[in-house]
Amino acid sequence: MNTITPDIRHYKKPVELPMTREEIGSTTILFGGLTLNHEHLLKGAIEGLGYRADYLPVPDNRALQTGKEYGNRGQCNPTYYTVGNLIRYLNGLKERGIKDIEKKFVFLTAAACGPCRFGMYEAEYRKSLQNAGFDNFRILTFEQSDQFGETSGGGLDMNKEFYAALIKSLVLGDMLNEAGYRIRPYEESKGETDGVIAQYREKLSGALRTGSPIIAHLKELHSRLSAIRVNYLQVRPLVQIIGEFWAQTTEGDGNYRLARWLESEGAEVKLEPVSTWIDYLLWSSMLEEKERLRIRPMKSAGRMLGIYMLRRLFLFYFNTYRRALGSWIHKLPSQHRLAQYANPYFDVHITGGEGHLEVGKHIMAFKDRKAHMVVSVKPFGCMPSTLSDGVQSKVTSDLPDSIFLSIETSGDAEINVKSRVQMKLYEARQRAKEEFTAVLSSHGVHADRLRDTVTRKPGLANPLVSLPQEYTGTAANFAVWAVNRGR
């Protein structure tokens, strides 16, 4: 019998080039993709673990072009922006005459096995880097979904200390961001809030590097923020930015610098904390293990314990830092509640991207009066966000009073996108004004009289006063607080 043996050549993952222990002192770990506050703190935290670290500049549209030039077709935007940014940075080093770049630098990024392109990031980065002439450049990954505590590459320990450092810097970055976005729109002396935040970004990063007490710096920060004078009677629409993780977080062209632009248009912005994302990852990993408990009880029970311990560590840092800032920072939204809101529309077992979060956050913003308007940012080519957007049409038809806008960011069409946002922002502004007027009339107070009281009492200009959360807008809540205080 004539047998034909087919020429089967299975795909094999390229051999990883590790960063060895001996290289720790001479290799810089690069990273990027978050906000400046997060990245500066992360740099301090990684250096505190004994590594050399630096963050990449904020990716812009030139990075997008470079990413497209060297990458595969059909990738989602965050891949192009990130790898393009990295290639531009490495080329910049080359131009400055730095030798042995592939030996002296590595790139650290999160990785996950998942249904969207995120699972292929590492491979895509490698391909693009090879095309750009950095054949042996190393990408180090840490698992963000279900393998907490593993190590990647001999020279970088993904141990408990590593995750603790990561958690501390991300939580602190969230808190600095929140302070900035809540106080800055109302400050009386322009630039003061940013000045204080820049100073404490530096101090906290130094504390993470040297191991000096963080709480002392946070208490100091609390008193520095209290000294900023604000006028919370300025009626501003509260706009929550949600969407795909990278697109909602970046401060560059990847979302047309949306948060700062909205602020310049008169809005108060509610930025999604990275902590909500961490909490979601832990919540969804726990859900998965609970479901597997019947199939592999021992393994799942062990993993559930690991996730539980990690969540305790995360909440310990979050709550401790929050208390040091006078408990003024918002609590994290309940993952259980977000899932409950999303579940009638979006199966919470579906993962990838933000999973059910985009839908849950939209509904929560409306029903729990967390924002006047929600903007959902979807990077061009993003599969999970496209899925969420399809579902959001049903949500908006069920909640016709919600002011919701989904935008796709592709690097171009900035004017069109911003003009769509402006139209919705007009509605949100009206909503905020109506709410404020209703609050004044229900309390029988005239706006001018209230303004007069605020001018006469300096204690009312402290930004860190604890306002009730009865209404959506800061001005409305402040009016209730000021009236009750005057009684």
Binding interface with ligand SF4 (CB under 6 A): 76, 78, 116-118, 244, 246, 353, 379, 382-385
Min dist. Cβ of residue 457 to ligand SF4 (A) = 48
- Rank residues 118 and 328 by Cβ distance to ligand SF4 and give the closer one: 118
Task: Give CA–CA dist 186/190, Å, rounded.
Answer: 9
- Rank residues 289 and 408 by Cβ distance to ligand SF4 and give the closer one: 408
- Rank residues 148 and 246 by Cβ distance to ligand SF4 and give the closer one: 246
Q: Could you tell me the strand order of the sheet in which 52-55 lies?
A: 52-55, 28-31, 105-111, 138-143
β-partners of residue 377 are 243, 407
Burial status of residue 156 (CB atoms within 10 A of its CB: 0-12, 13-18, 19 or more): buried
Min dist. Cβ of residue 436 to ligand SF4 (A) = 37
Distance set, CA 454 to CA 440, 444, 482 (Å) = 14, 17, 8
Min dist. Cβ of residue 247 to ligand SF4 (A) = 7
- Rank residues 192 and 244 by Cβ distance to ligand SF4 and give the closer one: 244
Min dist. Cβ of residue 410 to ligand SF4 (A) = 12
Min dist. Cβ of residue 118 to ligand SF4 (A) = 4
Min dist. Cβ of residue 483 to ligand SF4 (A) = 45
Task: Give CA–CA dist 409/77, Å, rounded.
Answer: 8
- Rank residues 76 and 461 by Cβ distance to ligand SF4 and give the closer one: 76
Min dist. Cβ of residue 390 to ligand SF4 (A) = 14
Task: Give CA–CA dist 154/328, Å, rounded.
Answer: 42
CA atoms within 13 A on the CB side of 287: 15
- Rank residues 78 and 155 by Cβ distance to ligand SF4 and give the closer one: 78
- Rank residues 44 and 67 by Cβ distance to ligand SF4 and give the closer one: 67
Min dist. Cβ of residue 227 to ligand SF4 (A) = 40
